[in-house]
Amino acid sequence: MTRTDLNELRKDPLLGRWVAVLGKSKTPAEYQLPPHEQPETSCILCQGRESEAPGEIMSLRAPGSDAAAKKWSTRVIPNFAPIFQVEGDLGRRGDGMYDKMNSIGANEIIIESPEHNSSPEDMGLDQMTRVITTYRERMSDLEKDPRLRYTLIYKNAGRDAGAVFSHPISHLASTPVIPKRVKEELDGAKQYFAYKERCLFCDLIREEMRVGSRVILETRHFLAFCPYASKFPFEIWILPKQHQCAFQDIRPEETEDMALMLSSVLKKLKTLFPGLSFNYFIHSAPNRVPRKDHWHTLGEDFHWHLEIMPRFLKTSGFEWGSGFYILPTSPEDASKYLREV
């Protein structure tokens, strides 16, 4: 084994976990994907079947259109089988030595396209801009509810990523607690800021732009790259260059730029891996309720971002038992393949 073939361990600066990066990277052709399934032609989420789905929460329509006209670009409805419900009180209480509360929150489906087999990244920049605008409006609205602490926007694309519908959709879950994975990021960013008096994510942007080998795409307002200690092969992060802790603070000119970035990156992935299942999610600041001695630096130390997780691998007992991920394609090689698409 030559020195360049040696495996190496890399430490994630945000969460402190270690990743094993294999010295000899797999090429895209070495990843085996399931065969394409025959696409459906319509479903309950399609335009014209609105009466069959739960009542509309919001939609984006052409100027002058109304709900009766059934002409919408994006549409938000309640989840068919919600885990969280908006009505009621939290009802925090003890159960012996344990704690519990009512499942208060929101579960919503964001329908990204009126057309069944047309994803927003394939419909042009305007449609992806509408999708991101819908994300922002729903997060801004739910932030007003004092019972809710966190809102997560996420997408499951393909069966291996947990998708139930083949129609292009995203999901929203708003919860009365901050999810553990998000809290780990918040704590990691807070500790970094306390030590260095700089935002960890802003430092990541500067470092990735300086090195360049893991950068996939750069626009005026955003940077896309494969993280140094990626958990999954071809994992991609998209970060705004200007420091912002909350996604809902995104400005109009940034919205269109993010639409360009997200569309371009998704097209690259789909070109390199036709039929790939993937997840993405937005990690933003929790609802900005002051918490003594904890979140008062949130505006300085946290930086919202979008993470894309391709679903090539099945998690093994080693990963589940140790929290130690194995990466068969290095971030440097993955970003090179993506840049070349």
pLDDT in tens, 225-274: 999 999 999 999 999 999 999 999 999 999 999 999 999 999 999 999 99
39: pLDDT strictly greater than 70 = no
- Residue-level pLDDT at 81: 87
Contact 298, 284 (CB under 8 A): no
- Residue-level pLDDT at 187: 93
Nearest to 280 by CA among 229, 236, 312: 236
* Sequence letter at residue 117: N
3-state helix, strand, coil in the chain (%, to 5): 30, 20, 45
Q: What is the band of 135 on the pLDDT scale with cuts at 50, 70, 90?
A: very high
> pLDDT digits over 13-30, tens only?
999 888 889 999 999 999
DSSP letter assigned to residue 134? H
d(CA 311, CA 283): 19
Q: Which of 53-62, 64-73, 160-169 has the lowest mean pLDDT?
A: 64-73
> Dihedral of the CA atoms 278, 143, 135, 40 (nearest 10)?
60
171: β partners: 109, 154
Q: Which residue has the tokens 């039929």?
A: 275
% of the chain residues with pLDDT over 90: 67
CATH, domain range 43-316: 3.30.428.10
* Count of Cβ atoms closer than 10 Å to residue 12 Cβ: 16
CA distances from 79 to 25, 55, 107, 185, 192 (A): 40, 10, 5, 27, 37
Strands in 222-225's sheet, in edge-to-edge order, are: 58-61, 72-78, 106-111, 169-175, 150-157, 278-283, 305-310, 236-240, 222-225, 215-218
Contact 167, 45 (CB under 8 A): yes
Q: What is the band of 2 on the pLDDT scale with cuts at 50, 70, 90?
A: very low
Greater confidence (322 vs 180) lies with 180
d(CA 12, CA 229): 5
Q: What is the band of 182 on the pLDDT scale with cuts at 50, 70, 90?
A: very high
5: pLDDT strictly greater than 50 = yes
Contact 84, 104 (CB under 8 A): yes
Q: Which residue has the tokens 């200690």?
A: 229
- Residue-level pLDDT at 319: 79
> pLDDT digits over 193-206, tens only?
999 999 999 999 99
Per-residue tokens: 87: 């009505």
47: pLDDT strictly greater than 50 = yes
d(CA 67, CA 61): 9
Average pLDDT of the chain to the nearest whole number? 90
- Residue-level pLDDT at 317: 81
- Residue-level pLDDT at 296: 73
Contact 262, 126 (CB under 8 A): no
Nearest to 200 by CA among 328, 12, 71, 25: 12
64: pLDDT strictly greater than 70 = no
The domains of the chain are located at: 43-316
Handedness of CA 79, 170, 70, 68 (dihedral sign): positive
